[in-house]
Structures are given as C-alpha cells and as structure tokens.
Amino acid sequence: MHRRLKYIISLFFVLNSLFGIGQTTDTLAVNSSLDSTKKHSPKLAMLMSAVVPGTGQVYNKKYWKVPIIYIGGGALLYSGLFNHEKYTNFRDAYNYLYIDKTEMPGYENYTLEQLQSIKNQYRRYRDMSFIGLGVLYILNVVDAAVDGYLYDYDISDNLSLRIEPNLIYSPQYSTTHAGFQLNLNF
C-alpha cells in the first residue's frame, strides 16, 4: 500500500509539471496574459509549410495561397506521371525494336529514330515536371517564411515624402542659406 501511494504522489507531480494540473487561478491569469502578447513566429510558419505544404500560409492567414499551391502541385504531379507513363511506353517500344528487332504492338508506324526522339522528349517533360514540383515546394516554404516575417510589419497610410523650402543656418560661416528640407514619414 505504501508503495502505491508513493507511485500516485510521484505521478501527480509529474503530471503537474507537464500539464499544470492543480494550478491556481492567479497563475492561470498570468499565463493567459502572456499568451496575448505572443509574437508571430516566421520559423514556425516555415516549418509548418515544410512539413505540410500550405499550412504555413494558413498560419500566416494567407488562405488564398493554399489552393494555388495544391492546384499547381497537382498539375505538376499529374504532368510528371503522365509523361513518365508515355516515356516508359516509348522506351519499351524502342527497346523492342532496337534489341529484339521486333515491333511492339501499337508502335508499328514509328522508326527507331522517331521512337528515340519521342522517348527523350517525354523524359525531358517528365523531368521538368518533377523539377517544377520541387521548385513549387521550395517557393511554398520561402513564401511562408517571408509572409511570417512581414506579418507584424506596419503598413499604414502615413508613408509620405514632403519637400519644403527651408532656411539653413551654417554655424561655421554664421550665414543663412535658402534650401530644401526633405521629410520622410514612415
């Protein structure tokens, strides 16, 4: 019985330290006030987009970018898979004609040079589609990071440049000259 009591007490302390079981209302009020001043994290946005594309944009509240990412990614993936299938078909037809000296059914009207040219074309399209998919993934992560850094950036209407005439005093020569003054508000 004594052993079980020690186990229950130690379990309570572990749960208390992990989840804050048994906290008083004062500490809860302090914790909730700390959460209200929580800063937006660009690193978290970047990490979220790296793990699941588009979640960094959701975290940055740029919801309109998510369909662009998934539609673009789906189109590039479809294109890559389509071109890979065509590449393997023409590669097999080329190998039949080149190695076995027999024509593959459905590809009787192609010469060896035509099969090789078409095979290389589909391989190039497949490779470019998958490279584009990789570039889209990297742009997704970079976009989430940039939007994360600009999330708290003040974009106010008080951005102005005024040019005004001004009298400029020169203490070195004890004289006053007419000139212009630039005022930049941001």
pLDDT digits (tens, 9 = 90+) for 3-58: 655 555 555 555 445 444 444 444 444 444 445 567 889 999 999 999 999 999 99
**Diameter of the chain by CA atoms?**
101
- CA dist., res. 111 & res. 131, Å (int): 30
In the chain, domain spans: 40-149
Q: What was the pLDDT predicted at 77?
A: 98
DSSP assignment, residue 105?
T
Q: How many CA atoms lie within 13 A of 155 on its CB side?
A: 4
Q: What was the pLDDT predicted at 36?
A: 54
Helices and strands counted in the chain (H then E):
6, 2
The number of residues making up the chain comes to 186
| pTM score, whole prediction | 0.63
Q: What was the pLDDT predicted at 67?
A: 96
pLDDT, average across residues 51-70: 96
Q: What was the pLDDT predicted at 18?
A: 46
70 is written with which tokens?
Answer: 């998934």
Examine the pLDDT at 175 and tell me if it is beyond 70: yes
Q: pLDDT digit string (tens) for 105-163? A: 888 889 999 999 999 999 999 999 999 999 999 999 999 999 999 998 777 766 677 88
Q: What was the pLDDT predicted at 25?
A: 44
Q: What was the pLDDT predicted at 26?
A: 44
DSSP assignment, residue 177?
E
> What are φ and ψ of residue 33, in 5° steps?
-70, -30
